[in-house]
Structure 1
């Protein structure tokens, strides 16, 4: 089998557009628990934002996979400098329903990777929803490794021994500096990104610092003592229905006492007060994965990466 990637025309993109939106929207409904109408509107908004000039959008490669005269699928790759500065990003790979289980998905990915190498790109990443177990297995077989995961669960009514207290702007600045110096990948989700990139992400997530709307930057207090901190936000357009915990940590002297679990429960209680349906925790690294497993947080989505 030899699969060749051929650029889409504007007419072909227009024909494919409804199925692209539907595929994205269906995944959001299944993973984020939003209504089909909300998911369709958000899928349309995000895709419009990524492709303002359609097939002529700079840095976006929209190709159909051809096996001879047979169109077998679709591959969309964003070049470095669009989604990520340090790597290309596979925005979508799909195989025609009647051509699946024949190796075409692997063949299109390999063809796309070969094209990236010719362009001088040495790293590529992608996103996959947790329920798409077949695709997750495929990407691992092809050498992709987990970069970060969004773990989620429904919001309950937890009991907690940790209280959340507001931070001052100087206190937030000091805590953010610790993250930038020691664990920038928690914000960048890219180990090759410079530490300064973590500050750029922080400005996007909390543009007004401690006064940012729908953002909670809080001390964790137990027994009257500050024992750590947490950064979380209410649902936004990219993940409607799911609140995101961007960062949490317990300070070294207080670890291994169950306070991490209690801190997450405190954030969960805040979500319950705001009628948020699901909580999400971004994790990177095996220790964070074990913590998420112990809390019953399922893989909602994951970002994978491969060196070419």
Structure 2
């Protein structure tokens, strides 16, 4: 039985607002963005990626429902990206609610994403993880994900804005 259930439009509306806040926060914490304007930038990036919201082509949104818990324990946003040389499912978001972390739900979700990719004839699964999220990096490595690039930043004389 699949734990991934298609996300409803009402659930998506609250999910995407929280995602925008989290994305801004993660970018500030990682040092990529200044705090000032981060929420606006996160919203703009999200709207660029999802011009039609939940209805945007090649994007799939899921709630992770566990029968024993009888509620949503996590959320997933996937994007199908095809080119002339490869096909990839990109994981834009895999979020397990705080109270359900470290219980194996992320591993189950990643296995179901592999099944999803296989049914769509996808050969790669990609994702981005912030450098300060060592727990996620460890999980992805355990699940067979490999680092393919590294972004680096040097801060020069910045003051907190």
| TM-score normalised to structure 1 length | 0.48
The count of residues paired between Structure 1 and Structure 2 equals 155
Higher relative contact order (CA 8 A, sep 6+): 1
Q: Aligned-residue CA RMSD in angstroms?
A: 1.9
2:8 paired residue number: 9
Matches within 5 A, 1:237-276: none
Asked whether 1:104 is paired with 2:105, we answer yes
Larger Rg: 1
Residue 147 (structure 1) aligned with residue 126 (structure 2): no
Mapping for residues 65-80 of structure 1, pairs under 5 Å: 65-68=64-67, 69-80=70-81
CA contact (8 A) 1:64 1:75 kept: yes
Alpha-carbon contact 2:32-2:153 (below 8 Å) kept:
no
Counterpart CA distance in 2 for 1:104 and 1:24 is: 21
The C-alpha deviation readout for 1:258-295, integer Å capped at 9, x for no partner, is: xxxxxxxxxxxxxxxxxxx4xxxxxxxxxxxxxxxxxx
Unaligned 5+ residue runs, structure 1? 157-276, 278-308
Q: How far is 1:85 from its partner?
A: 5.8
Give the match for residue 23 of structure 2: 24
Q: Secondary structure at the match of 2:107?
A: helix
Which residue of structure 2 aligns with residue 86 of structure 1? Answer: 87
Partner of 2:44: 45
Contact 1:3 1:67 in 2 (8 A): no
Identify the residue that residue 218 of structure 1 maps to in structure 2.
none
Q: CA deviation at 1:52?
A: 1.2
Q: Which residue of 2 aligns with 1:197?
A: none
Q: Would you tell me which structure has more strand in proportion to its own residues?
A: 1
Q: Distance in 1 between matches of 2:130 and 2:63?
A: 22
Describe the shift of the 1:98–1:61 C-alpha distance in structure 2 as closer, same or farther (beyond 3 A): same
Q: Deviations over 1:12-31 (max 9, x none)?
A: 11111221011100111112
Residues 92-131 of structure 1: per-residue CA shift (max 9 Å, x gap): 1000111111011111111111111011111111001100
What does 1:141-290 align with in structure 2 at a 5 Å threshold? 141-155=142-156, 277=158
Q: Which residue number corresponds to residue 55 of structure 1?
A: 54
* Cα gap change, 1:85 to 1:9, in 2 (>3 Å): farther
Contact 1:65/1:73 (8 A) holds in 2: yes
Q: List 4+ stretches of structure 1 deviating above 4 A.
A: none
**Cα separation, 2, equivalents of 1:15 and 1:111:** 24
Unaligned runs of 5+ in 2: none
Residues 5 and 64 in structure 2, CA contact (< 8 A), matched pair in contact too: yes
The SS at the match of 1:144 is: coil
